[in-house]
């Protein structure tokens, strides 16, 4: 069940919207001021917000600007409910971060159409984000595997050489020390690679094999020694 937050200082407006939306299968929560509306948006995490513009203390536009800039609520679509529908009013509302308008007096069919449209856009955006997260995760694993394989091989060869040396009657201490230096070098390379991956904020993808991609570390990648 989709959750809709109604922010309006007029009780009769809240009751009207609540009645109509609940009959359509929505869960409705309400707030009677801009301040309580912001609190409800943060704590209740609604799927959509219906926001009245004309409110005392904090206007709907101010609430809209705050919610669209706050990372906790920035992905919640906001539809403004208002009688002010001039081109300038609509421009100001969209610039504040609203995704749409519902004109007063409210037409039920139009309201539901705009709400469902906004919810579908939100669902598409969330699906896109999930796909991007999975793509980034897969590319990170591929990149780590590709970059770390060489130093891991060096560690394995060095350990094999050390074990072989330890089985000799006369152990060459200098040879073991040299092999541990290779291990230290390889461990340092792995740490550098993991640090570079950790620093990536907006990954750039590069083709690896077939449809598989890896993260392009670009000029930040430490040259192999």
Ordered DSSP codes for 154-195: HHHHHHHHHHHHHTSSS--HHHHHHHHHHHHHHHHHHHHHHH
Confidence tier at 225 by pLDDT (50, 70, 90):
very low
Beta strand 27-31 with 48-52 is unpaired
Confidence tier at 216 by pLDDT (50, 70, 90):
confident
The per-residue pLDDT for range 162-195, each reduced to its tens digit, is 999 898 888 899 989 999 999 999 999 899 888 8
Residues 6+ apart with CB under 8 A from 104: 81, 82, 83
Domains in the chain, please, with CATH?
Answer: 3-106 (3.40.50.2300), 129-220 (1.10.287)
The per-residue pLDDT for range 107-166, each reduced to its tens digit, is 999 999 999 999 999 898 888 888 888 888 888 888 888 888 889 999 999 999 999 989
Report pTM. 0.64
d(CA 197, CA 103): 49
> Contact 146/208 with Cβ under 8 angstroms?
yes
């Amino acid at each position: 069940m989709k959750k809709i937050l109604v922010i309006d200082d007029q009780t009769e407006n809240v009751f009207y919207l609540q009645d109509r939306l609940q009959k359509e299968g929505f869960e409705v929560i309400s707030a009677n001021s801009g301040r309580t509306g912001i609190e409800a948006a943060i704590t209740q995490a609604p799927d959509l917000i219906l926001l009245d513009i004309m409110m005392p203390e904090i206007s709907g536009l101010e609430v809209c600007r705050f919610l669209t800039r706050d990372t906790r609520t920035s992905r919640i679509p906001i539809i403004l409910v208002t009688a002010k529908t001039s081109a300038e009013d609509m421009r100001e509302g969209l610039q504040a971060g609203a995704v749409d308008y519902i004109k007063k007096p409210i037409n039920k069919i139009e309201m539901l159409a705009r709400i469902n449209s906004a919810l579908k856009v939100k669902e598409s955006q969330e699906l896109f984000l999930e796909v991007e997260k999975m793509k980034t995760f897969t590319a990170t694993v591929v990149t780590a595997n590709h970059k770390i394989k060489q130093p891991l091989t060096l560690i394995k060869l060095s350990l094999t050489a050390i074990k072989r040396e330890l089985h000799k009657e006369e152990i060459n201490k200098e040879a073991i020390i040299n092999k541990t230096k290779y291990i230290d070098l390889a461990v340092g390379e792995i740490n550098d690679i993991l640090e570079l991956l950790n620093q990536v904020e907006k990954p750039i993808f590069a083709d690896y094999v077939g449809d598989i991609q890896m993260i392009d570390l670009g000029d930040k990648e430490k040259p192999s020694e």
